[in-house]
Amino acid sequence: MNPISLSEERARAFIQERSLVGRDFLSISDLSPGELEGVLAVASAFKAHRRDGRPFARLSPFNAMAMIFEKPSLRTRVTFELAMSELGGSVVMLSGTEIGLGTREPVRDIGANLSRWVSAITARVMRHQTLVEMAAAASASVINALSDREHPCQAIADLLTILEKAPQYDGGQVAFIGDGNNVAQSLMLGCAMLGIDFMLACPPGYDPEPDLLQKAQLSSVETGGTIKVMHDPVAAITGAVAVATDVWTSMGQEAEREKRLLSFADYQLNAQLLMKAHPEAIVLHCLPAHRGEEITADVLEGPQSVVLDEAENRLHAQKAVIALLLGASLVN
């Protein structure tokens, strides 16, 4: 792993660069490796200042964010709303059915109209293409709060948690056990950008999308990391300093549930499998979890689990993204 600075000095310098102002954030690969490090440093600074009760950066009070959710949420909604509020902006919450996203009104029209009122549009959608269409029409910054292709804000929270909590030693890697889904794909890309070795073990037929895998592997060549996809969970987890998993059946895949339960039966993150990792390895899960399926309760709630730290870090990660896209100013 390459040295990564989470210092407040780095965070302040990155905010002052204003290099992300006005941009969209649909994929974690929308950032350069250096920009990803900057976002992580800003997230870490926001976390430290919130803990100490000190403001770090603020937005103009005229900044507002529209939130469009086609899928239900706990962590994503609460942390985005709190992040915008604590930065000094305001939030307008909209459901996909309420505005008829792509049905009552074309996505491009919604994006163009919202841009006349708000500075950012955060959308949690069924199809990634919805975000692409919205960003093409919107002058406001569009933020991916989850799509079927990526979950970049989750990846930033995960990477922050790994940098804070995982034991660091030569030869360690991040292992993802389960579906090569949106969460796995964003984490894979983020690890590649930071030079972190990443091993994904998934059943045949559940590999990550080929273009994203290729992008991650090309990025890892430049940063000195390794990206591997395999079908053996033991091989993937052996020596890992951080182990992540996610549900086997996500929203919109309910019809595939029985098939998926059979396909993923050998990919459960349990105590026996976790013993193959580094003795102090941390366990991550983006939540909600299906205890007894992708992860056992004793692992999810055990001493190596950092899932609540990971959930907390969603707030700091998203606050950093919003602050950087909307040009927040440092406080004192």
Please provide the DSSP assignment of 295-329 as one string: B-HHHHTSTTB-HHHHHHHHHHHHHHHHHHHHT-E
Q: Of these residues, 148, 286, 304, 318, which one is catalytic?
A: 286
Residue 197 falls in the annotated catalytic set: no
Non-local CB neighbours of 330 within 8 Å, separated by 6+ positions:
12, 15, 16, 56, 57
Residue 65 sits at φ, ψ, to 5 deg, of -130, 130
Q: Of these residues, 75, 148, 153, 154, which one is catalytic?
A: 154
Residue 124 falls in the annotated catalytic set: yes
Helix, strand, or coil here: 22? coil
For residue 107, what are its two tokens? 């996505």
For residue 294, what are its two tokens? 């992708």
Residue 246 falls in the annotated catalytic set: yes
Q: Of these residues, 124, 260, 285, 316, which one is catalytic?
A: 124
Q: Of these residues, 149, 153, 246, 278, which one is catalytic?
A: 246
Residue 191 falls in the annotated catalytic set: no
Q: Of these residues, 191, 314, 316, 318, which one is catalytic?
A: 314
Q: Of these residues, 10, 75, 149, 151, which one is catalytic?
A: 151
Residue 154 falls in the annotated catalytic set: yes
Non-local CB neighbours of 260 within 8 Å, separated by 6+ positions:
179, 248, 249, 253
Residue 27's nearest CA partner among 133, 111, 138, 153 is 153
Residue 16 falls in the annotated catalytic set: no
Question: Which active-site residues does the annotation give?
Answer: 124, 151, 154, 246, 286, 314
